[in-house]
Amino acid sequence: MIIMGHSPQIQISNILFGMMGQYDMCMTSAKISQTRTIVPRLDYSTSLISDVIKVLKKKRRELKKSNKTLVVETEDEEQPCYKAIDVERTVSFCLEGLCCIQKRMNSASRIDLIPKVFPSMVPMIRTISAQLVEISPESSSKLSELSVHLGSIVLDSASITKAHFDFSQSNVESSTLLDEVKLMVDSKISKQYPQLDFLSSFGN
């Protein structure tokens, strides 16, 4: 049970250590030790994604504000601030994608759910990280680190619970989720700047 009012890190620790009680009778000491090492990595992963989301929320607010002014100033030009709005769209895409990932991380309330929920998040994070290389290098670096941590958590949890997962299926699921995020973000951007034929201009 998740205790209301506690931090995500405390919740994760409680969940995993609670699950250990169900596995202790059939787990070797090595696997119990392996389970204990998942907790700090999950805590750190939760902290990493929260930090990046915070940075991107601030970045998106700043871009919305500056682009609102820029649209007015360049309304008579042939290519009115499309590049600036594309940066805003990319940041929004990355932010919404990470919020989706964060929700999925929080939904894994038991250790046996990690191999089912987490695998698709790794390619999602790598894709988002690549999108942020020039816009926010520090965030991109943190996400690269996050993908490594989550990948190791998936492998360890699968080993402990004897779960099986299909990486190719995870890639398909990742692409589907990111496509859904992109459609949502493109729709919001189009409504935000109805006077611009933005999506047709960039064609993606």
* pLDDT at res. 76: 60
Annotate 80-109 with b (16+ C-beta within 10 A) or e (fewer).
bbbeebebbbbbbbbbbbbebbbeebeebb
| CA pair distance 91, 75, nearest whole angstrom | 23
Q: What domains, with CATH codes, occur in the chain?
A: 9-17+28-194 (1.20.1260)
Ranges of residues in the chain with a pLDDT under 50 are 1-15, 17-30
* pLDDT at res. 200: 59
* pLDDT at res. 161: 85
